[in-house]
Amino acid sequence: MTATSLAAADGGLPPAAAAHADPAAEPFATAPSRAARLLRSPSFMVGAVIVLFWVFCAVFGPLVVPHDPYGDDLLNTLAPPSAAHWFGTDQIGRDIFSRVIVGARPILSVAPLATLVATVAGTTLGLLTGYVGGWLDSLIGRLIEVLLALPLIVVALLVLVALGPSSSTVIGVIGIIFTPLIARTVRSAVLSERSLDYVSAAELRGEGALHIMFVEILPNVLPPILVETTVRLGYAIFTVASLSFLGFGIQPPSADWGLAISENYGMMTGGYWWTVSFAAAATASLVVGVNLVADGVQAVFE
Amino acid sequence: MLARFARQAGRRLGLAVLTLALLSVVVFAGAQVLPGDVGRAILGPLADPDAVAAINHEVGADRPAIETYFTWIGHFLVGDMGRSYTFRTPVAPFVGTALLNSLKLAAVAFVIVVPLSIGAGVYAAMRAGQWQDRAISVVSLSLTVVPEFVSSIALILVLGIWLRWLPISASTRPGTPVLEQLRHLILPALPLVIVLFGYIARMARAGTLEALDSDYARTAVLKGLPQRTVIVRHVLGNALLPTITVVAAQVGYMIGGLVVVESLFRYQGIGSLILNAARGKDFPMLEAGILTVGAIFVATTLVADSLYTVLNPRLREGGR
């Protein structure tokens, strides 16, 4: 997932672009040793295993689950965990184990897509503001101030009420809100690159601004973009899950975890703990996993 | 120097006002321009066109957006937040009551989290690199990223239902003694505490490490002061400065968290006001709630920045 966002982040550059960059600018020269350091970091590995597990469930879940996650069984509602239903059944008798496994898919499509949108747009904007500067730069600065003045959830609510909740709106809203935040990171990385010799050399060669931004500078600012993207992915999952819980994110009858908790938390006081606990544990493990990965990436690339 | 300070304060205030003005445009656009047909958005696709037109006229959606905006913001500035579509009464009293309730909840959360996280951060810094430091950082990092509704579920199940230590409903009957009211707020405050703990502890740790590494701290150690004295007298003051801004910046996050927590614990605060307005498409209520929240955030940031400047002589000189 990180690899796809990265590939998209460089705007589909040919592989030759990397070789084209100044060899003195390091990211590619040290890439293997960085990967080795990541693999040696225990917290990164734990995080990676958790995330890969859920990615597996998201991709193959529907093929491996023991029951139909959407099939109700009105004679067997709210059954506690048993050999037949490992995690019990919900209010209309659906198998919770199957729903938790399949429920990885909606959140693992919406959150990464939102992050991808923000990474592509934010990288472009950051390159522009960092390299070109001027009024665009101050405009973005102000925009970030305004965006940060409101909690993410509240902005998202406002837009989702106006446009009506749907997965694609959620992707758009989170993508747009994260764009200036990623742009800010990219911008500051670009600012420290633009005074380097390879940029002046390209300018002297008469290269156009677009070439300098996307072919010369971009490969050299990939590490901070990678770090920011993984961190943002964690926030995106947090936000999508919360929005689904509030009823403004992923919509029924999806097996989404946030949605499952919102449908069932009223049952908790009745002693039906299994209707919410497993979805809650799944959400918690996914966000913690992604953030352990982000933490490891951050430690190695910064 | 005083003149420079005043100029700085004036600049900050100007920026804050500008941010608020932009914010009001964003909120207005979100609530009145984005839905396109406001009347249709409220009444749904099957409603009678005449009813839709009547609503549009009532809220002013049939006039140019610019005109409506200035009417709206003009009334807002003198305290008239409009009338709720749902309750057919002025919005302002609802916002006032909700704000007060949220303030109580937020205060309980801050009272728990600030000493706890600063203590943990300072302790981690003093044990930097050892297992205690590592444990605090992994635990706080992991707790910080768990959405409030998830930690709420765990807290309700364990503390509220199995152990029965804390009441699981946040609201109390009128006339309940203050202490009992506060007891009802502890469980809803804990999810907020869990998220905030990591941020504040991390800042406190970084600030303490930096202060410990400074020349004045080294001098204090070298002249033979006991570690306790060095920490309390020389390190803490400097270490906690940046933490103040972090705590203030979390007010914004806190309000987002309140939306989730208040709805889960059925507590009548500003968060549940915004959520209910969103669910009921009560746009005046929604606008008022969101703008109030934004204003609070901008104001706290302003105060925190000023406090930071006042407490930090180097910034007062206009050094950075």
**Residues spanned by the domain of A200:** 105-251
- Closest-CA residue of chain B to A285: B146
> Is residue B215 one of the residues assigned to a domain?
yes
Q: What does residue A82 show for φ and ψ, rounded to 5 degrees?
A: -150, 180
* Number of separate domains in chain B: 1
**pLDDT at A12 (0 to 100):** 36
Tell me: do A94 and A149 sit in the same domain: no
Chain B contact set for A245 (CB, 8 A): 147, 149, 260
Tell me: do A148 and A190 sit in the same domain: yes
Tell me: do A112 and A247 sit in the same domain: yes
Tokens of B155: 């807290």
Tokens of B312: 């930090």
Question: Mean pLDDT across the stretch B181-209?
Answer: 88
> Is residue B296 one of the residues assigned to a domain?
no
Mean pLDDT of chain A: 81
Chain A contact set for B145 (CB, 8 A): 234, 238, 287-288, 290-291
DSSP H or E run through B308: helix B283-311
**Residues spanned by the domain of B193:** 93-290
Count residue pairs from A and B with Cβ separation < 8 A. 134
> Is residue B263 one of the residues assigned to a domain?
yes
Q: How far apart are CA B60 and CA B54, in angstroms?
A: 10
The Cβ of residue B69 has, within 10 Å, a number of other Cβ atoms equal to 17
Tell me: do A221 and A245 sit in the same domain: yes
Q: Is residue B248 very low, low, confident or very high in pLDDT (cuts 50, 70, 90)?
A: confident
Question: Mean pLDDT across the stretch A20-38?
Answer: 59
Tell me: do A129 and A50 sit in the same domain: no
Nearest to A104 by CA among A271, A289, A267, A296: A289
Spatial CB neighbours of A277, under 8 Å, sequence gap ≥ 6: B153, B154, B157
The CATH number of residue B228's host domain is 1.10.3720.10
Selecting from A268, A283, A284 the residue whose C-beta is nearest the C-beta of B156 gives A268
Selecting from B22, B150, B264 the residue whose C-beta is nearest the C-beta of A142 gives B22
CB contact under 8 A, A246 and B286: no
> Is residue B60 one of the residues assigned to a domain?
no
Selecting from A149, A162, A288 the residue whose C-beta is nearest the C-beta of B19 gives A149
Tell me: do A84 and A69 sit in the same domain: yes
Asked if residue A2 has pLDDT above 50, the reply is no
Tell me: do A86 and A221 sit in the same domain: no
Nearest to B104 by CA among B258, B243, B247, B244: B258
Tell me: do A166 and A64 sit in the same domain: no
Q: How far apart are CA A266 and CA A94, in angstroms?
A: 17
Distance of CA B29 to the CA centre of its chain: 23
The pLDDT tens digits of the residues spanning B57-91 come to 776 667 777 877 888 888 888 878 788 877 878 88
> Is residue B305 one of the residues assigned to a domain?
no
The CATH number of residue A139's host domain is 1.10.3720.10
> Is residue B301 one of the residues assigned to a domain?
no
Asked if residue A10 has pLDDT above 50, the reply is no
Selecting from B26, B151, B253 the residue whose C-beta is nearest the C-beta of A151 gives B253
H-helix segments, chain A: 2-9, 16-20, 31-40, 42-64, 96-102, 104-127, 135-148, 152-163, 167-194, 197-204, 209-211, 222-246, 257-264, 274-301
Tell me: do A91 and A126 sit in the same domain: no
Q: Is the ipTM of this complex over 0.90?
A: no
Torsion of CA B242, B243, B246, B250, to 10 degrees: -160
CB contact under 8 A, A284 and B297: no
- Closest-CA residue of chain A to B38: A162
Question: Mean pLDDT across the stretch B196-214?
Answer: 85
* Number of separate domains in chain A: 3
**pLDDT at B89 (0 to 100):** 83
Asked if residue A194 has pLDDT above 90, the reply is no
User: Coil, strand, or helix at residue A205?
Assistant: coil
The Cβ of residue B195 has, within 10 Å, a number of other Cβ atoms equal to 25
Q: What is the largest CA-CA distance in chain B?
A: 84
Q: Is residue A32 very low, low, confident or very high in pLDDT (cuts 50, 70, 90)?
A: low
> Is residue B167 one of the residues assigned to a domain?
yes
Find where tokens 């964003």 sit. Answer: B26
Q: How far apart are CA B41 and CA A275, in angstroms?
A: 34
**Looking at CA atoms only, how far is residue A110 from chain B in angstroms?**
16
The pLDDT tens digits of the residues spanning A95-118 come to 888 898 988 899 999 999 999 999
| B-interface mutation test, from A43, A146, A277, most B Cβ less than 10 A away | A146
Tell me: do A207 and A119 sit in the same domain: yes
Signed CA dihedral, B168, B173, B179, B180: sign only = negative
**Looking at CA atoms only, how far is residue A73 from chain B in angstroms?**
26
Q: How far apart are CA B183 and CA B241, in angstroms?
A: 31
Asked if residue B168 has pLDDT above 50, the reply is yes
Selecting from A142, A234, A261 the residue whose C-beta is nearest the C-beta of B149 gives A261
- Closest-CA residue of chain B to A156: B30
- Closest-CA residue of chain B to A268: B157
Chain A contact set for B259 (CB, 8 A): 151, 153-154, 157, 246
Tell me: do A123 and A224 sit in the same domain: yes
CB contact under 8 A, B147 and A283: yes
Q: Is residue A18 very low, low, confident or very high in pLDDT (cuts 50, 70, 90)?
A: very low
> Is residue B4 one of the residues assigned to a domain?
no
Selecting from B147, B148, B290 the residue whose C-beta is nearest the C-beta of A150 gives B290
Tell me: do A273 and A181 sit in the same domain: no
CB contact under 8 A, B278 and A149: no
Cis upstream peptide for B115 (omega within 30°): no
